[in-house]
Amino acid sequence: EEIELISFCDQIAQTFRRTGHREIKLQSEVKEIQAMTIPGKLEQVLVILLDNAIKYSDSGIEIMIKREMDDIFISVKDQGPGISPEHLPHVFERFYRVDSSRARKTGGNGLGLSIARSLVESFHGKLGIESEVGEGTVVTIILSHRILI
């Protein structure tokens, strides 16, 4: 299905702004990005990423959308505690949780990111993560070669 990504992301962010009482900025250099994707699955992925950003940080969240050639990047950025380099490669594994005390406090099973990655791969995209302890975390959905215009 062809959708306009910026308004699609903004609609999802809007429900989190209301219920999560958190500022969520949407940033894009262009006004519209049309893409071929599976909206229900993309929504599930964004919900998992926004859920984590809200759960693990207490400041503002940013969604950044950009297009470079045939690739579309949708990033969810938070200014939370970040994830240390020894844990970072494992966060997409099922049931992996970084810090048991933090994990106990926030709840969850360590499934969100592994589900998100499977969903993104099911529509031929990629899911990446960058994180810096004390700075925050950026999780990026890359949709490849799915652009119509």
Distance CA 86, CA 98 (A): 10
Q: Does 142 bind ligand ATP (CB under 6 A)?
A: no
Compute the least distance from the CB of residue 26 to ligand ATP, in Å: 18
User: Which alpha helices (H) appear in the chain, and where do they start and end?
Assistant: 5-20, 39-56, 100-106, 112-122
Q: Does 38 bind ligand ATP (CB under 6 A)?
A: no
Query: What does DSSP assign to residue 88?
Result: G
**Which residue of 96, 123, 126, 130 would you call a contact of ligand ATP, by CB under 6 A?**
96
Q: Does 125 bind ligand ATP (CB under 6 A)?
A: no
Structure tokens at 7: 């308004």
Pairing mode, if any, of strands 61-68 and 34-36? Answer: unpaired
Q: Does 80 bind ligand ATP (CB under 6 A)?
A: yes
Distance CA 6, CA 18 (A): 18
**Which residue of 78, 125, 141, 143 would you call a contact of ligand ATP, by CB under 6 A?**
78
By the criterion CB under 6 A, which residues form the site for ligand ATP? 52-53, 56, 78, 80-81, 83, 91, 96-99, 103, 108-114, 137
